[in-house]
Structure 1
């Protein structure tokens, strides 16, 4: 699998080979006649041929460097754009760099964990909502029960008051009945005594 380092080394070797080839073509004495023919065809003096060779070498080097730049930055840019969109997809490119693949797998694992946690949080929020509803219902039932107990206590107190007043009334009536009986017994005894006399 390709890495950034192996790709960079490959392009570095290509650049060095280009420079070495340029020096060889410009400096090798056996090619002097070909250089002179090219200079005549272009209409420039043979001693300035090195300028043409240097320009061609620089163009080749700049093309190699731009290709290297594109090759190294394109996978990272693609990954960065996917991150901006919020979803890193799996790519099955055979020329994928191992570093990019490692970063992509890490981001995907992080996304999966985040989705799992989001599901857990949503489930917990649902449970919390239902628990709060149950708690509110329980509080309402407790309040209703407390109201019932308060009503029971109030009614019991009223009944105790009514019961106490009824007992007093009953006792007073019993006392009146006893007094009437005594009075009646007293008058009937006196009449009897009177009738005996």
Structure 2
């Protein structure tokens, strides 16, 4: 069984040696495909290949990849939550919430990749739709027209109305959690801090009035 590994640079420092040893371990374990992106090992093959770096935050790295089943580019978020209980809870919460949300203005999970052996489970990969940028990057580099502002606000409110109708509170809505594509379609993402609201509680005095306007 072949293994495809791409190295961004060659080095003889201890970190590189450890990474090479990890790659050798994967070869010996006959894991189908892995790729190295900025010293992060992605074990997502053979379905997902041709990985390209997008960005990273406190909870993991995001790359784009080719889905060899659908022939489309997707976003793959690598999470390594098992060292801290709060990270585990955040990851589980996001997966459980996104699994129940299906809306064109909310990011969804297309696939989840993990080790088949529980004792070897160190990372989890969430496969989602690929979006070109986020709102933070967009407004940082250009001024939006009034038409764009109205269209983006409309999509945000549609997404929030749907989220709230499912008794979910996002609790971390900000420009970097609003993903956009080249057609100006918007999706709300990152539900790691979200909570399930009590359906018996009247939130009309808590949620702002825009929910009833969409």
Same fold (TM over 0.5): no
- The one of the two structures with greater contact order (alpha-carbon pairs below 8 A, sep at least 6) is 1
| TM-score, structure 1 as length reference | 0.17
Higher strand share: 2
- Higher-Rg structure is 1
Per the normalisation by structure 2, the TM-score is 0.16
